């Protein structure tokens, strides 16, 4: 099974789509198309394949289809292609052959998130995730004692917190 998943996710564009969905938590195919400047059918077709392989979950929100990664899918992807979870993932595309993959077709600077760090007077830290339009995606709090809490996921252990732990540890 992992061989099939490895072959499915082996292209740089597909890894970039999964990286985008991982960072955002949930994403519409149209969102991915606009931010990564790819053809309309590529994200939806690939994410449907990921749903069939039980890597992602597909939910409907009216007429739109919303995709997110499953916990089982995240565990499999960590084994098969851990570079998706790496903060320096955009460096992968810069090192590729320019003839085959031009960086203008993979604009990793438009993945679309920004993290702002705010410290309160009690010693706690708030991390706010913003998308490319400046809209707030999520807020994660870290108390002075080291307890984490994500407002969007209503959890103390989610993909936003795991991403921030790596991000926060690399900043020190």
Residue-wise pLDDT for 77-97, tens only, equals: 888 887 787 655 654 444 444
Tokens of 129: 């995730």
Tell the residue number behind the tokens 């082996």, with chain if given: 10
Q: Which domain holds residue 33?
A: 2-110
Question: How many domains would you assign to the chain?
Answer: 2
Residues 82 and 161 in one domain: no
For residue 55, pLDDT beyond 70: yes
Q: How does residue 42 score in pLDDT terms, banded at 50, 70 and 90?
A: confident
User: Residue 16 phi/psi, 5° resolution?
Assistant: -65, -40
Q: Is the pLDDT of residue 170 over 70?
A: no
| Pair (85, 125) in one structural domain | no
* Final residue in a domain of this structure, among 110, 134, 156: 110
Statement to judge: residues 102 and 128 lie in one domain: no
Average pLDDT in the chain: 77
Comparing CA positions, the residue from 62, 75, 68 lying closest to residue 50 is 68
Rounded Cα gap, residues 163 and 107, in angstroms = 21
Query: What is the rounded distance in angstroms from the CA atom of residue 58 to the CA atom of residue 123?
Result: 39
Q: What is the DSSP string of 83-132?
A: GGG-TTTHHHHHTS-TTT--GGGS-GGGS-EEEEEEE-TTS-EEEEEEET
* 56, 138: one domain: no
Kindly report the pTM of this predicted structure: 0.58
**119-147 confidence digits (pLDDT tens):** 888 888 888 877 666 777 778 888 888 89
Query: Within this chain, do residues 162 and 87 fall inside the same structural domain, yes or no?
Result: no
Strand partners, 125: 119, 142
Does residue 74 sit in the same domain as residue 6? yes
pLDDT at 13 (0 to 100): 81
């Amino acid at each position: 099974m992992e061989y099939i998943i490895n072959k499915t996710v082996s292209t740089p564009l597909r890894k970039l789509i999964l990286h985008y969905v991982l960072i955002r938590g949930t994403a519409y195919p149209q969102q991915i198309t606009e931010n990564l400047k790819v053809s309309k059918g590529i994200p939806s077709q690939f994410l449907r394949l990921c749903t069939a392989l039980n890597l992602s979950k597909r939910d409907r929100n009216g007429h739109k289809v919303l995709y997110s990664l499953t916990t089982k899918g995240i565990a499999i992807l960590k084994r098969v292609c851990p570079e998706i979870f790496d903060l320096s993932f955009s460096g992968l595309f810069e090192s590729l052959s320019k003839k085959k993959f031009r960086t203008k077709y993979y604009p990793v600077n438009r993945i679309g998130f920004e993290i702002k760090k705010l410290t309160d007077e009690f010693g706690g830290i708030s991390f706010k995730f913003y998308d490319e339009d400046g809209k707030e995606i999520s807020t994660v709090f870290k108390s002075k004692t080291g307890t984490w809490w994500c407002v969007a996921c209503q959890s103390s252990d989610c993909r936003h917190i795991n991403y921030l732990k790596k991000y926060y540890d690399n900043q020190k």
